[in-house]
């Protein structure tokens, strides 16, 4: 069997695409790179594709025509959170200042023993971590 070579993209469902696209642009540095509009046969919905220039990570933001409208809940079966690696504690502190400057609520820096991290939630409550591995781990 072959191995994986990376992550193609992450797709998330949101309640308000414009609000979420703006948040991901400002808070995490993703930039819109295109919109996908499925054909009528798919009865789909538009998806905004965003890319993070430094990491190359692609994020697809979906606002389904039929959606529940509830907030993300990490205790439900399925996704718990996404975690993005930053280079070191200095970079983590820079992200913390950036989020603070934007008024984005975040956790304090937490120590997992082998890494330090902060947690943040998007406008729908989707959980993200910014994770700085400690040297030697």
Residue 64 has pLDDT above 90, yes or no: no
pLDDT at 33: 95
DSSP 90: H
Q: Tell me: the pLDDT tens digits for 99-131?
A: 999 999 999 999 999 999 999 999 999 999 999
List of residues 6+ apart from 12 with CB closer than 8 A:
20, 59, 60, 61, 62, 122, 124, 126
User: What band does 38 get if pLDDT is binned at 50, 70 and 90?
Assistant: low
Residue 91 pLDDT exceeds 90: yes
Question: Mean pLDDT of all residues in the chain?
Answer: 88
Compute the CA torsion angle 84, 88, 89, 91 (nearest 10 deg).
-70
Assign 3-state DSSP to the chain and report helix, strand, coil percentages, each to 5.
20, 30, 45
Q: Is 120 helix (H, G, I), strand (E, B) or coil?
A: strand
Residue scoring higher pLDDT (52 or 37):
52
Q: What's the pLDDT band for 43 if we cut at 50, 70, 90?
A: low
Q: Is the pLDDT of residue 78 over 90?
A: no
Q: Above pLDDT 90, what percent of the chain?
A: 63
Catalogue all structural domains in the chain, each as residue range(s) with its CATH number: 8-65 (3.10.180.10), 81-137 (3.10.180.10)
The pTM assigned to this predicted structure is 0.85
């Amino acid at each position: 069997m072959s191995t994986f070579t990376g992550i193609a993209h992450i797709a998330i469902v949101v309640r308000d695409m414009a609000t979420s696209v703006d948040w991901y642009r400002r808070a995490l540095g993703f930039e819109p790179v295109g919109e996908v509009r499925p054909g009528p046969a798919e009865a789909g919905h538009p998806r905004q594709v965003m890319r993070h220039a430094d990491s190359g990570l692609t994020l697809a933001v979906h606002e389904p025509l039929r959606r529940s409208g509830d907030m993300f809940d990490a205790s439900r079966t399925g996704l718990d959170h996404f975690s993005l690696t930053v280079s070191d504690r200095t970079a983590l502190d820079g992200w913390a200042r950036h989020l603070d400057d934007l008024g984005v609520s975040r956790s304090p820096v937490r120590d997992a023993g082998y890494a330090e991290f902060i947690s943040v939630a998007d406008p729908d409550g989707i959980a993200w971590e910014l994770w700085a591995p400690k040297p030697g781990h």
